[in-house]
Structure 1
Amino acid sequence: MSTKAVQEVQPSIIKDFKEITKMRLALSVVFSSVAGYLLGAETIDWSIVLLLSLGGYFMVGASNAYNQIIEKDLDVLMNRTKNRPIPAGRMSVTTAFIIATVFTVLGLVILYNINQQTALFGAISIFLYTCVYTPLKTKTPLAVFVGAIPGAIPFMLGWVAATNDFGIEPGTLFALQFFWQFPHFWAIGWFLYEDYKRGGFFMLPTGKQDRGTAVQTIMYTIWTILISIVPVLGITGELKLSIVAAIIVFLLGLVMLYYALQLFKKMTEKAAKQLMLSSVFYISLIQIVYVLDKFIR
């Protein structure tokens, strides 16, 4: 093989590996996990941070690889997924399965080395995403509810990694990220409605781009905002929030609520995309504010 051919193949292999494991999504999950760890840790152990980051990345990568194996025939039908490694024929199912299996084993072993509870929640996450959420996507809009469970685990996983305990604190972090996922994923389901329809996926709560979906999006956004400021009341154990931080968190929530209201008002794919983008900025900024508030207080 010529040098030029090798140079062309290498980026393709790397790109396909990143796509089968959804590296960008995995890194956002690692960010959430580390934020949760920093909130729960009395003293920061950087070796735990490293293990949590690696274990979290492997678990998410495994879930995504399993997902793409299961949905390979449906991915061919949708514009956003037809060029993924498996449906495009650049990667075999066997190769993808090996990657998923190796990632699962590595992820569980690494998380187990932090503590047993962290490994347990990691295993629950990969099971629910692969064996429950993925099959349900073509059957019922309730799939989003199930998918929100593994999606909410990373933030609380960090706290459990730091404390080896599950209580009101990680429960609150879980609830925040759980409710946030509904406006986030419904916004995605809205602007990708036609593409999802081609694949036979039911992502919107009413199954349609209608007022009912928009109203539910607003309601879950409000729930997210309310949960985000609960720690300021002093009822969430060691998870605390200063008044200044709570005001900032509340204002950030109002920005996302504005875009949810805009979706109700305009009912357009552009409005849905704006809500999705605002939700991504929201959850990242919320986690940063929570962490900064702990160390500045």
Structure 2
Amino acid sequence: MNLSVPHSSYNVPSSLRNFKEITKFRLSISVLFSSVAGYLLGADNIDFFVLFLLCVGGYAMVGASNVFNQIVERDLDALMDRTKNRPLPAGRICVRSAFVLGVFLTIVGIGVLYAINPITAMFGAISIFMYVSLYTPLKTKTPLSVFVGAFPGAIPFMLGWVAATGSFGIEPGTLFMIQFFWQFPHFWAIGWFLFDDYKKGGFFMLPNGKRDKGTAMQVFLYCIWTVLVSLIPVLGITGKLYLTPYSGVLVGILGIGLLYYAGRLYREKTSKAAKQLMLASVSYITLLQIIYVVDKFIR
């Protein structure tokens, strides 16, 4: 498949770059990290073939969502500095090629996840549907888009557990809730420091549409919820998903760091503080998942 513009010569490096950009490679890898962490938490015995299928199917699933998202938003992406050089608005990929790629990745993603088990494929399909059909069109209409987008965004962490066990219960539900609440401060922080650029594309990302004390307070409150939900497994009420008190202390320390940066945004209300919170949120979810996995295997 040639992902270049019509009439241009085929070039492997540029086509690979276009593929990475239109599937949002770094974002997709971070999503895979969550899925792998969920799998390791749920698996009694690690099956590396299943883990491989999860990575392939997971990347295809996330990649398909990103391709369709960029097809829908290509004209708006052209208006914003951070997105105007993406393959579609820059003309490096035509819409037809992007659509074919999106369909291909959808079929591969759901098919590979189905080979693991049907429930995993079902959640993968739900994720693509909600991201493309609900979250994407709502971004230009209402700040509630972040709430809707938090559902498909929270699926990967629990998807790994479902892939490992073939069932859904309180354990993957807890993993879902952790990543669900985490997304609000994460994306509102992004919406804050990219406010002017988002405004060019007509995107409504902040809860009340303003970079003010009200938004900052909501960010802080959702950080509290994120930390509290992250500590629930310490109580021993989430089935096989358990976190020792020692690891709970580490998660608590991470939470204090997250709340520090959320409080800083509340006090300063600056783009710099918002960007620092965004980076802190990425560190929080990544380190939390590592702590959860390490805790399981060393206790």
Tell me how far apart the structure 2 counterparts of residues 294 and 14 of structure 1 sit (CA, whole Å): 37
- Counting matched residue pairs gives 292
Sort the Cα spacing of 1:7 and 1:87 in 2 relative to 1 into closer, same or farther, 3 A.
Answer: closer
Matched residues in 2 for 1:117 and 1:29: separation? Answer: 18
Residue of structure 2 in register with 1:285 after alignment = 287
Q: For 2:256 and 2:170, locate their aligned partners in 1 and report how far apart those are by CA, in whole Å.
A: 25
| Letter of the 1:174 counterpart | F
Give me the CA root mean square deviation.
Answer: 1.2
- Code of the residue aligned with 1:41 in structure 2: it is A
SS at match of 1:113: helix
Q: State how far apart, in whole Å, the 2-side matches of 1:103 and 1:37 are.
A: 22
The CA deviation string for residues 80-120 of structure 1, in whole angstroms up to 9 with x for no partner, is: 00110000111100011111110000000000000000000
Separation in structure 1 between the aligned mates of residue 18 and residue 55 of structure 2, nearest angstrom = 21
The whole-number CA distance in structure 1 between the counterparts of 2:141 and 2:283 is 30
Determine if the alignment matches structure 1 residue 210 to structure 2 residue 212: yes
Aligned-partner Cα distance in 2 for 1:195–1:75: 10
Give the counterpart letter for 1:92 in structure 2.
C
For 1:30-69, list aligned pairs within 5 A: 30-69=32-71
**Residues 24, 179 of structure 1: CA spacing in aligned structure 2 closer, same or farther, 3 A cutoff?**
same
C-alpha deviation, 1:8, in angstroms: 10
- 1:93 maps to what in 2? 95
Question: In the alignment, which residue of structure 1 is the partner of 2:178?
Answer: 176
- Structure 1: gaps of 5 or more residues: 1-5
| Residue 3 (structure 1) aligns with | none
Residue by residue over 1:51-86, the C-alpha shift from the partner in whole angstroms, topping out at 9 and shown as x without a partner, is 001100000000000000000110111000011000
Q: Displacement, 1:9?
A: 3.9
- CA positional deviation for 1:13: 1.7
How far residue 11 of structure 1 moved from its aligned partner, in angstroms, is 2.5
Matching residue's letter, 1:123 = A
The answer as to 2:129 corresponding to 1:127 is: yes
Determine the C-alpha separation between the residues in 1 that align with 2:77 and 2:273.
25
Q: Distance in 2 between matches of 1:135 and 1:170?
A: 28
Unaligned residue ranges in structure 2 (runs of 5+): 1-7
Which one of the candidate residues 264, 285, 298 is aligned to 1:262? 264
Pairs within 5 Å for 1:62-77: 62-77=64-79
**Letter aligned with residue 253 of structure 2:** L
Alignment of 1:181-192 (within 5 A): 181-192=183-194
**Deviation (angstroms), 1:253:** 1.0
Partners of 1:127 and 1:22 in 2: CA distance? 18
- Which whole-Å deviations, capped at 9, do the CAs of 1:22-63 have from their partners, x for residues lacking one? 011111111100100000000100001000011000000000
C-alpha separation between the residues in 1 aligned to 2:213 and 2:11?
Answer: 48
**Pick aligned residue for 1:18 from 17, 20, 38:** 20
Q: Deviations over 1:122-181 (max 9, x none)?
A: 000000000000000000000000000000000000000011111100000000000000
Letter in 2 for 1:230: I
Indicate the residue corresponding to 1:167 in structure 2: 169
Match of 1:150 among 144, 152, 172: 152
The AA in structure 1 aligned to 2:142 is T
Q: What is the identity, as a one-letter code, of the residue corresponding to 2:151?
A: I
Counterparts of 2:275 and 2:11 in 1: how far apart (Å)? 34
In structure 2, distance between residues paired with 1:177 and 1:30: 13
Q: Deviations over 1:210-254 (max 9, x none)?
A: 111000000000000000000010100010000000000011011
Aligned to 2:252: 250
1:230 aligns with 2:241: no
Q: What CA distance in whole angstroms lies between the structure 1 residues aligned with 2:101 and 2:259?
A: 39
Give the match's secondary structure for 2:116: coil
Letter matched to residue 288 of structure 1: I
166 and 273 in structure 1: CA distance in 2 versus 1, 3 angstrom threshold: same
* Cα separation, partners in 2 of 1:8 and 1:271, compared to 1, 3 Å: farther
